[in-house]
């Protein structure tokens, strides 16, 4: 049994959690969404200052909620990549300080790996191999997971991530920030078949399409042109357009994900990232996957967005494999998930 305390400060959520194997003992999240709404997006300097203010109260709450002291903690996990560098530094500096003071091992975690392990917290029997569809504000990826640290990228976006497309489309429709929840709410009262929108296929140089690649910039452009056209005619139906956009995205993601799982003989699909909270995507992918005999797992809504519990769960996996990070570890805004083994002193494969 391994008990890991984790810190997550990659963007605009200050998270501290304690996880024992796959059991969440505490999961504290201090959100900055209301603060950044004024700017229509995350301001890095503002996010860093807010992390500095929130991190110590979150640590105290996490320990109190779990009813544990430092003697009961086996290791300290922290998100170190990818993310906003200033925000990541707040978390890593805190984690290093705690590791030194309490003589605990440090576990540097790739943020995307955390999203993969979010489903472990709600599915006690989930084990690799499986296909992970990772959909967030910065990422859209299809990842074959064959073990802890054993990841193969099978597909991804060529331009905008799907969460970014939601934010940009919500801005075009005047629905505010963050775009995902705003479009989801508006779509509930709209007709998903009101408008035909491009599904973002990526063309091959010699003809045909890449089967597991995504493109969302064309979809965003199509919505922009349609908004201008409908506004000029006085016929802009925001809810219908939101529903049509959401339907197109959900079908695009579901079709490619199921086809990928079948081709690579991966019997289970796991979805991670903030867009995993989208209701239409959850319905479409579950229906399509189960119709093909696949198991489909979505994390609970509270574990779709950034949180420290998923980072702690990933930390448990690495701790149990003696994959410890050096105290000289630094942060980075980008690093491929397939290079995450560079975060550890030892790289024992599962």
Q: Are 180 and 138 in contact (CB under 8 A)?
A: no
- Shared domain check, 219 and 152: yes
Q: Helix 279-291 and helix 238-263: axis angle, to 10°?
A: 30
φ and ψ at 139, to 5 degrees?
A: -145, 145
Segments forming the whole domain that contains residue 89: 3-118+304-343
- Same structural domain for residues 274 and 157? yes
- Residue 348 lies inside a defined structural domain of this protein: no
Q: In what order do the strands lie in the sheet with 13-20?
A: 23-31, 13-20, 3-8, 75-81, 106-110
ω into residue 194 within 30 of 0, thus cis? no
Do 293 and 308 fall into the same domain?
no
Q: Is 243 among the domain residues?
A: yes
Indicate whether 10 pLDDT > 90: yes
Q: What average pLDDT does the structure give for the chain? A: 94
Is residue 132 one of the residues assigned to a domain? yes
Query: Do both 141 and 223 map to the same domain?
Result: yes
pLDDT in the model for residue 348: 40
* Encoded tokens for 155: 């597909």
269 — phi, psi (to 5°)? Answer: -115, 130
Look at residue 350 in the predicted model and tell me its pLDDT: 34
Average pLDDT over residues 322-327: 96
* Tens-place pLDDT, residues 240-284: 999 999 999 999 999 999 999 999 999 999 999 999 999 999 999
Predicted confidence (pLDDT) per residue in 135-188, tens digit: 988 889 999 999 999 999 999 999 989 999 999 999 999 998 889 999 999 999
Please give the pLDDT value at position 347: 44
pLDDT tens-digit series, residues 332-345? 999 999 888 889 87
* 329 in the same domain as 202: no
Average pLDDT, integer, range 7-18: 96
| Per-residue pLDDT at 309 exceeds 70 | yes
* Cα–Cα distance measured from residue 210 to residue 188, given in angstroms and rounded to the nearest whole number: 32
Q: Has residue 350 been placed in a domain? A: no
- CA distances 211 to 116, 155, 197, 201, Å, are 22, 8, 19, 8
Q: pLDDT band for 204, please (50, 70, 90 cuts).
A: confident
What does DSSP assign to residue 206? Answer: T
Tens-digit pLDDT profile for residues 75-108: 999 999 999 999 999 999 999 999 999 999 999 9
Q: Percent of the chain beyond pLDDT 90? A: 84
259 and 318 inside one domain: no
In a domain, 349, yes or no: no
Q: Mean pLDDT throughout 68-76?
A: 97
* CB 184, CB 249: distance < 8 Å: no
User: d(Cα 47, Cα 33) in Å, to the nearest integer?
Assistant: 10
- Cut 0.85: pTM above it: yes
Q: How confident is the model at residue 349 (pLDDT cuts 50, 70, 90)?
A: very low
- In sequence order, what are the beta bridge partners of 203? 209
- Are 283 and 314 members of one domain? no
Would the pLDDT of 322 be above 90? yes
The pLDDT value given to residue 346? 53
CA distance 135 to 104: 33
Give residue 221's pLDDT. Answer: 92
Is residue 304 scored above 90 in pLDDT? yes
Distances (CA, A) of 341 to 110, 210, 312, 347, 350: 9, 29, 17, 6, 12
Check which CATH number belongs to the domain holding 208 and give it: 3.30.420.40
Query: Strand, coil or helix: what is 282?
Result: helix
* pLDDT recorded at residue 140: 94
Residue 153 located in a structural domain: yes
Are residues 191 and 92 part of one domain? no
Residues 144, 73 share a domain:
no
CA distance 308 to 310: 5
So what's the pLDDT on residue 342?
A: 86
Same domain? 7 vs 21:
yes
Looking at the structure of the chain, the number of domains it has is 2
CA-based nearest residue to 318, from 286, 290, 288, 350 = 350
My answer on whether 175 and 285 are in the same domain is yes
Q: Are residues 111 and 190 in the same domain?
A: no
């Amino acid at each position: 049994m391994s008990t890991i305390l984790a810190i997550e400060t990659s963007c605009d959520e200050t998270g501290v959690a304690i996880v024992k194997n796959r059991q969440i003992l505490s999961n504290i999240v201090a959100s900055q969404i209301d603060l950044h709404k004024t700017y229509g997006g995350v301001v890095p300097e503002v996010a860093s200052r807010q992390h500095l203010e929130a991190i110590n109260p979150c640590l105290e709450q996490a320990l109190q909620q779990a009813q544990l002291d430092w003697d009961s903690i086996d290791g300290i996990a922290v998100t170190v990549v990818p993310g906003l560098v200033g925000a990541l530094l707040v978390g890593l500096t805190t984690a290093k300080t705690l590791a030194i003071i309490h003589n605990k091992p440090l576990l540097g975690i790739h943020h995307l790996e955390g999203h993969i392990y979010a489903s472990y917290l709600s599915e006690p029997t989930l084990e690799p191999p499986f296909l992970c569809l990772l959909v967030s504000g910065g990422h859209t990826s299809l990842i074959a997971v064959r073990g802890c640290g054993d990841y193969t990228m099978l597909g991804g976006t060529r331009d905008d991530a799907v969460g970014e497309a939601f934010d940009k489309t919500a801005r075009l429709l005047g629905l505010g920030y963050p775009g995902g929840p705003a479009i989801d709410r508006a779509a509930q009262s709209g007709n998903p078949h009101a408008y035909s929108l491009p599904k973002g296929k990526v063309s091959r140089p010699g003809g045909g399409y890449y089967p597991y690649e995504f493109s969302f910039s064309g979809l965003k452009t199509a919505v922009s042109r349609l908004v201008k056209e409908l506004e000029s005619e006085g016929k802009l139906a925001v809810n219908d357009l939101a529903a049509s956009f959401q339907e197109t995205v959900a079908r695009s993601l579901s079709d490619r994900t199921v086809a990928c799982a079948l081709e690579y003989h991966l019997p289970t699909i796991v979805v991670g990232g903030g867009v995993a909270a989208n209701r239409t995507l959850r319905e479409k992918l579950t229906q399509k996957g189960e119709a093909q005999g696949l198991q489909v797992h979505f994390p609970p809504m509270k574990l779709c967005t950034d949180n420290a519990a998923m980072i702690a769960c990933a930390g448990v996996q690495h701790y149990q494999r003696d994959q410890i990070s050096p105290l000289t570890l630094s942060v980075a805004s980008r690093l491929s998930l397939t290079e995450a083994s560079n975060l550890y002193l030892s790289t024992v494969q599962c």
